[in-house]
């Protein structure tokens, strides 16, 4: 890696879509990059362009994050490489159909890629960054974390998990100089739709955000120190109200006694 005051950013799912745009933007900001995805040739094409355009050091690290050995190799790199200051947990997938339309292999794969992989990578990065007193983790979740009734609950459930993980990790690491951000995109024009047998053009055009706009907005939220960034949400007050209501539940969720509304009454 070349010497960079910003350090290196490790980006998963970096061969296309959101990950590739993060690679472009972070390299132009002055980060060296470690690109992680299955398609090594496609990442090398991106790396060559970014090396030429930015002069940054770009490493291509082919890995299938649903493969235990590959995942372990990337996690160990995060733990050991002191040049890494930023993890972008972007790799993910959607199902063709839903829970009732898929068999065990597909369900296991989405859980592994969308939950197990980002958890282990965030764990490795979080421990390393905490020890160094600096670093950041960006987890790409989804607005579906907030509206599970809209689409299949498996995908939205994995994204709700990432949101919860980010909120908890942010609280744990804030005093150690480590920033954690969850990004919640809405419908975004990327290859994930075609890969899961869906047609993004079936949505009204005004509902689908371009990937460049999505990443630029997300990085603005990152620069502002946001823990949760929702690029399509115009009224921030809606999110604040939601958060306040959720937090207000906390004192009422664990008691010795059953709530009166769950007690049977006996007529005299």
Query: Is 159 a catalytic site residue?
Result: yes
**What confidence category does residue 196 fall into, taking pLDDT thresholds of 50, 70 and 90?**
low
Instruction: Enumerate residues 6+ apart whose C-beta is below 8 A from 170.
Output: 179, 180, 181, 227
Lowest mean pLDDT among 171-185, 190-204, 222-236, 248-262: 190-204
Domain with 232 in it = 8-262
Tell me: the pLDDT tens digits for 238-267? 999 999 999 999 999 999 999 999 998 755
Q: Structural domain tally of the chain?
A: 1
Range picked from 1-15, 121-135, 195-209 for highest mean pLDDT: 121-135
Query: Is 22 a catalytic site residue?
Result: no
Q: Assess contact for 101 and 95: CB atoms under 8 A.
A: yes
Active-site position among 49, 127, 130, 155: 155
Give the E-state strand segments of the chain in sequence order: 8-12, 32-37, 58-62, 84-89, 135-140, 178-183, 228-229
Statement: residue 90 has pLDDT above 90: yes
Closest to 111 (Cα-Cα) out of 47, 65, 179, 172: 65
**How far is 24 from 39, CA to CA, in rounded Å?**
17
- Residue 224 sits in a domain of what CATH number? 3.40.50.720
Answer yes or no: is 34 within a domain. Answer: yes
pLDDT attached to residue 3:
46
Answer yes or no: is 268 within a domain. Answer: no
Answer yes or no: is 2 within a domain. Answer: no
φ, ψ at 256 (rounded to 5°): -65, -40
Tell me: the pLDDT tens digits for 126-177? 999 999 999 999 999 999 999 999 888 999 999 999 999 999 999 999 999 9
Answer yes or no: is 267 within a domain. Answer: no
Mean pLDDT computed over 97-103: 93
Q: Assess contact for 162 and 180: CB atoms under 8 A.
A: no
Active-site position among 49, 127, 159, 262: 159
Determine if the pTM surpasses 0.85: yes
Mean pLDDT computed over 9-23: 96
Closest to 10 (Cα-Cα) out of 205, 120, 22: 22
């Amino acid at each position: 890696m070349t010497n960079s005051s910003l350090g290196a950013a490790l980006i998963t799912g970096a061969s296309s879509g959101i990950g590739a745009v993060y690679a472009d933007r972070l390299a132009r900001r002055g980060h060296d990059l470690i690109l992680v995805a299955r398609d090594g040739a496609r990442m090398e094409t991106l790396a060559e362009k970014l090396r030429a355009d930015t002069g940054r050091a770009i490493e291509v690290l082919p890995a299938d994050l649903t493969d235990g050995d590959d995942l372990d190799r990337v996690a160990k790199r995060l733990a050991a490489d002191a040049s890494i200051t930023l993890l972008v947990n972007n790799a993910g997938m959607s199902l063709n159909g839903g829970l009732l339309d898929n068999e065990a292999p597909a369900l296991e794969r989405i859980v592994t890629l969308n939950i197990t992989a980002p958890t282990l990578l965030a764990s490795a990065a979080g421990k390393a960054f905490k020890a160094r007193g600096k670093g950041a983790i960006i987890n790409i979740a989804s607005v579906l974390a907030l509206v599970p009734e809209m689409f299949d609950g498996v995908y939205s459930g994995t994204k709700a998990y990432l949101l919860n993980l980010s909120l908890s990790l942010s609280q744990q690491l804030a005093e150690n100089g480590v920033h954690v951000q969850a990004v919640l995109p809405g419908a975004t024009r990327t290859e994930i739709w075609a890969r899961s047998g869906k047609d993004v053009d079936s949505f009204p055009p005004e509902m689908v955000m371009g990937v460049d706009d999505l990443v630029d907005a997300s990085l603005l939220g990152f620069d502002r120190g946001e823990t949760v960034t929702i690029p399509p949400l115009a009224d921030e007050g809606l999110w604040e109200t939601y958060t306040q209501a959720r937090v207000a539940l906390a004192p009422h969720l664990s008691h010795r006694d059953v709530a009166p509304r769950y007690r049977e009454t006996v007529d005299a």
